[in-house]
Amino acid sequence: MWLVVGLGNPGPEYARSRHNLGFMVVDELADRAGSSADWRPKLGAQIAEIRLGSERALLCKPMEFMNLSGEAAGRVAGFWKIERERIVAVYDELDLPFGRLKLASGGGAGGHNGVRSLIATLGPDFARVRIGIGKPPGKQDGASWVLGGFTKEEQKEVPFLIAEAREAVEAIVASGISTAMNRFNGKKPPAQ
């Protein structure tokens, strides 16, 4: 079994924020699974079991706030005895231009508090699908940028970005992180 953890913040006020791209991607995975995806609360998260190709996968949206995401993800991984090599985290990334994906295996948190929490609970050895949101303009601070909504121009691209991140998760599960990295890393983001 695989575990796909989408990072985000619970609550309607954050639903369409940049920081909730991870939630949006796991929602897209659930939507593609159709009626077989049944979200339910368990262990501090919303989880749904689906099939990704021939593999069983648990989708996980931690319902603690971003800084505590790893606690719920760790409980879910422990309960189902999912190995770190079969965990994929999906999240927003300030240090990538808007629209660019970067897949990786292992590494640090890069200043992302949700990832820092995952590492504290799971260790660093899990696959990552990082979704570029770009840096805030001018002197706007990072916290208000990630918790804010997308610009009108970005809103047009968000569905395509979510679909591409979903495809990246599917590729990791089907072919492994190295093959998926070769396919998705280095693609240029959409023109702004």
Digitized pLDDT (tens) for each residue of the chain, 192 residues in all: 999 999 999 999 998 999 999 999 999 999 988 766 789 999 999 999 999 989 999 999 999 988 999 999 999 999 999 999 999 999 999 999 999 999 999 999 888 999 999 999 999 999 999 999 998 887 877 888 888 888 899 999 999 999 999 999 999 999 999 999 999 997 665 554
For position 81, which CATH number holds? 3.40.50.1470
In a domain, 129, yes or no: yes
In a domain, 107, yes or no: yes
Strand ordering across the sheet containing 2-6: 40-42, 45-52, 55-62, 2-6, 87-93, 127-132, 101-105
pTM exceeds 0.85: yes
Distance (Å, whole) CA 149 – CA 10: 15
In a domain, 16, yes or no: yes
Asked if residue 152 lies in contact with residue 192, where contact means CB atoms within 8 angstroms, the answer is no
In a domain, 190, yes or no: no
pLDDT of residue 35: 65
In a domain, 73, yes or no: yes
In a domain, 191, yes or no: no
In a domain, 104, yes or no: yes
Distance (Å, whole) CA 184 – CA 59: 21
pLDDT of residue 190: 54
Q: CA nearest 88: which of 14, 159, 174, 160?
A: 174
H-run or E-run covering 12: none
Domain range for 133: 2-184
| 112 in catalytic set | no
For the chain, the domain total comes to 1
In a domain, 33, yes or no: yes
Q: Choose, from 19, 86, 130, 166, the residue flagged as catalytic.
A: 19
